[in-house]
Amino acid sequence: MHNIINDLSPTILVYWLGLITGTLLLGILLVGSLQPFLLKMSVRNTIRRPWQALLLVSGLALATGIIVAALGIQDSFNASMAPYRLAQMGNVDEAVTGTFTQQQVSTYQAQIRQQHDVQAVSALFYAHGAGGSNVWSTRTGTSIGSLSTYAIPPDFDAVYGPLTDTHGRHIRFSDLRPDEVYLSKTLVNLFDVQPGDTLQIQFFFSGVEKSISTSARVRALLPNDLAFTSGELASNNPTGEIILPLATLQRLATQQLHQDFIANTICVKNVGAGGMADIGPSGERSLAVQSALSRIVGVPILDVNGSLDLDTQFDNVLIHPLKPDMVQRYGVPLSFALRQTSAAKQLRFSIPLLSDLLVGAALLLLVLLFLLLAAERRSELGISRAIGLQRGHLIKLLLLEGSIYALVGGLLGIPLGLGIIAALLVLLSSVPQLGGTSIALHVWVSWQNLGTAYCLGTLVALLAIFFSAIWISGTNIVAAIRDLDEPPTLTARLLQLVLALWLPPRDEAGLVIPETLARQIGRRVEAIGKLLWGLFARGILSLPLGLYLLQLGMLQEQIWLQHLGITLACAGSGLLSAWLLQCLKVPSSLARRLGFTLLGLSWLAFGLYKNILLGFFIDVPSDNEPFLTLDTLLSTLTLVSGAVILAMSNVDLLLHALSGLIRYVRGLAPISRTSLVYPLTFRFRTGATISLLSLVMLLVTFFTTINLVDIQHNQLDTITGGFQLGMTDPRPELERQFQSTPELQQQFQRMASLHALLGIIKGNQVALNVPLHLHLPNGDTTLKSLMPTESSDAFLAATRLPFQARAQSYTSDRQVWDTLQNQAGYAVLRYDTDAPGLPTGNGFKPFTVDIPDRTVPQGVHYHPVTIIGILAPDTYYPSLFVSQRTARDLMLGQASKGKGDVTYYTYLFQERDGTQNSQAIRVLNHVFSPGNRRLAFQVLDPSEGNTATAILTLTITGYLGLGLIFGVLAIAIIISRAVVERRQQIGMLRALGFSRGLILRSFLLEAVIIVTLGLLLGALLACGLAYQVFTAYSENFPLPILPLLLILLTCYLTAFLATIFPARQAAHLSPAEALRYE
């Protein structure tokens, strides 16, 4: 559903859906006006049965509410993020970035100003946090690094618009003096600073070897951050910003670097009052300015809906369409750091996937609801047919009734959907942002999406009602009037279906029944339909159709089409096997059991082996990667359907065995057979209910298991080896400075113990293009992402990092670390999914890795080391560890350093118990800051991230809880229908002496069987999928048994309680009332 909706304009979509829905409803109303007796009957029937009407309206409202929530949650995200993004960009409507000459900047500005839709233009210099500017406060003695820099010209006020400080006072960029700066909101939140403070600033710029140093006074603090490029706006990852005059930066660059700094960002304001008013009617003004910019600078407009570089690179000229494109861009209002967690990425793709599944569940539930309504009116419908109503009349009657339910249910579903969105936003608002800016979330849904949700809910309801009406209208008249079971339908032989195309109908005497031309055409069309269905149901048509779709999908590279083809081919194989066995005189029941067992097994095996959902958990897509909703939907439904078909094909064997055991339970012995017959008699409705429960249980258990195991893994010892803080610096003298200052050592040791991991990364991260060569037992491979890291003896002696896999003859993790520290030529490697064949369990044979000593292919030398341990993939350190002894022997860092090679030293700090991270950082700043301005500390404790994961998991499972409501209603429906259909049997049993308690226990036992089957199937499938996820890179799968038992118990009790009312209703039936039809 989402794939189709996302490809259409919301306005066009709602108009088309409104036209289709309105046409259908008007057509149904026209039928009612032409046949007023049908309209009167439909209105009367909706009023006569308030309980059934309430059930139908509730189901329809829930279906519409889910659609509203699915479409409206992104509207709410965008509406919540829009004020934040508008505050960042001010009145800047477009921006052009790149490396320019001064002449180009002047020429571009002059040409842009000539455009009649442009009000103002200004050029500034921007360097993002990756450049790494740093400040040190003379008042507090603390420092902070990795800051962004904005060098602003005086005329920028005309482009940005009104500016205020944190006290609400109006200020201007042109007010800045040469020795003054503004500081952004994020920097103020991270750094103890106030107006009037004097800061020592050290500017570092990418591609520039030297830094610029100066001192400046803080003039004002800003209430927001600045962002004028698409990547920075999309990332929601402000790093803290220093704003100073452009002339000041250019003067310092000339004095200290002897080079010119040219503006690299041209900001444009359109004609208008500011904000979204600048885009013009329907965005025409923005489109005109963007076209003019593309013509002036000679590059196309950047597609901000695609993949974006979250740190703008200035190598190429880019045109950033900020308004309305970036303001309305899809996004999740979570910080960049939080969005990198697995749970946050699951949230992004799970909402559309789960919404589609829940809408499908709603469709099935509506069919069951309408069939329940028909079952209670079976005698009435039979009498209506007997007195002259045709099947067409019944279909029209039921459609008229359904339209009333759909209209009312859709209206109630809109506020229900808004309530679901509000509940989700409340949960998301409590998620820790992991250092990012917290955005106030609020509910807002566009009228287009509200209209789309209402129309889709109505269409879903009409579709379910239409198919139910066709089914109901075919009821046997005599059986319906007498309230008897439907007579069994005999399956026509294939030859009879073929002959029916040509042979005319005959009466009981064998005489040809005369037909009109219209009747003859209608009979032959019906015969063609039955023949096609007969061929499909026997596998003769479905098997080649599946193979054709598979080939077509491979040619078009459409995964969903390939999946559909394989599914159809598997189904055709099972159906064809059953038919061939019957042709070979195998008993029909056995042939069908074997055929459907084969079908269920093939779907189950394919769903487990090729489940697309697994790929998104093993390698979760980034923010900009598309999620294949339709493909994942098909693979999940195939898995669940296969398990349910397999179970329902053989459940009679289990139930017969269970019946034998129940006979020995005194209170259940009389109902040991009667309570188990009904689920086997009506397998479709039983299977449908089991499918609903299995699907919900699968998703709830799977998401919960994955994230709970992640939380178990993401502990301090397993992620960082017991280190709470980290600090990276390009110079080795910090440790020597610490060692030479005893009083600082004493001050620090009262709070934390210090360990240093000396990490050698040869070259900056952009230049890492020489891979490692891995010589695995099953073949050679390469890795580009891992970098050799020299580890200090202090780190190797103190680390508590566990190994995912140890080489043979190593019995403990400590033994591996000691060998690495004391013996040269050994290394440990972090697991990487890009290197297939890496060991996942203990006892592997040690293998060698060739390490390059350069970051450029020319003149590279490789040095072999032996791998004796594999670290988990979620380990904090993305590297290959060697000791200082091994590094010296291999001459890492000494062999012909190339230009651009940089050695980074990462210092790790292990805090004492009870020490707060903020306290330790403050002490570390006092220890290391004097004379060293470039210090940036990272909090490595994963507890806050685990809290965020837990809340996001609760959000996902809460949304899935709506599916549990569908399952509970389905249980209640089939038990209620069982009561209606078995009134006479209940009366007979009561007349024979069965107590009310026995009748109650009989129906509850039926519900227990269905609920147990559904929940167990879902839980087992979820554990199977989760096992595949974790064993993809580890032999360990720590199943969270207690939480899973709690989930099972909660779902079980909820579903069980739903059966109490219909079971009590059956138990309190009067025998005389129930038998009066006989």
- Is-contact 979 1007, C-beta < 8 A? no
Residue 435: predicted pLDDT: 57
Tokens of 845: 């044979």
- Is-contact 480 381, C-beta < 8 A? yes
CA–CA separation, 451 vs 414, rounded Å? Answer: 9
CA–CA separation, 343 vs 349, rounded Å? Answer: 10
Residue 896: predicted pLDDT: 40
Helix (H), strand (E), coil (C) string for 688-702: HHHHHHHHHHHHHHH
Question: Look-up: residue for tokens 């200052």?
Answer: 741
pTM for the predicted model, two decimal places: 0.77
Residue 834: predicted pLDDT: 76
- Is-contact 223 185, C-beta < 8 A? yes
E-only strand ranges, 263-403:
265-270, 318-321
CA–CA separation, 702 vs 404, rounded Å? Answer: 38
Cα 944 vs. chain centroid, distance in angstroms? 21
Q: Give 726-785 as a DSSP string.
A: EEEES-THHHHHHHT-HHHHHHHHTTEEEEEE-----S-GGG----EEEEETTEEEEESS
| Helix 391-429 × helix 50-89 angle, to 10° | 40
Identify the CA nearest to 72 among candidates 5, 22, 7, 12: 5
CA–CA separation, 946 vs 928, rounded Å? Answer: 31
What is the C-alpha R_g of the chain? 35
Element (H, E) at 338: helix 336-339
Tokens of 299: 């590059």
- Is-contact 724 919, C-beta < 8 A? no
Cα 888 vs. chain centroid, distance in angstroms? 47
The amino acid at residue 1015 is L
* CA distance to 498, 575, 592, per residue, from 535 (Å): 10, 10, 16
Residue 891: predicted pLDDT: 58
Residue 458: predicted pLDDT: 87
- Is-contact 337 434, C-beta < 8 A? yes
- Is-contact 166 188, C-beta < 8 A? yes
DSSP single-letter state for residue 217: E
Cis-peptide into 852, omega within 30 deg: no
Return averaged pLDDT per consecutive 10 residues of the chain, 1078 residues in all: 57 89 88 81 77 78 85 85 88 93 93 94 84 76 80 94 92 93 87 88 76 90 90 77 92 87 93 90 91 93 75 85 85 69 73 74 72 70 76 81 86 91 85 67 89 87 80 70 60 74 75 78 82 86 91 85 90 91 88 91 86 62 53 82 89 79 76 72 78 84 81 76 73 61 60 49 40 84 71 81 89 92 89 81 89 61 88 77 79 45 66 70 65 60 77 81 75 74 77 81 82 88 82 69 83 79 78 65
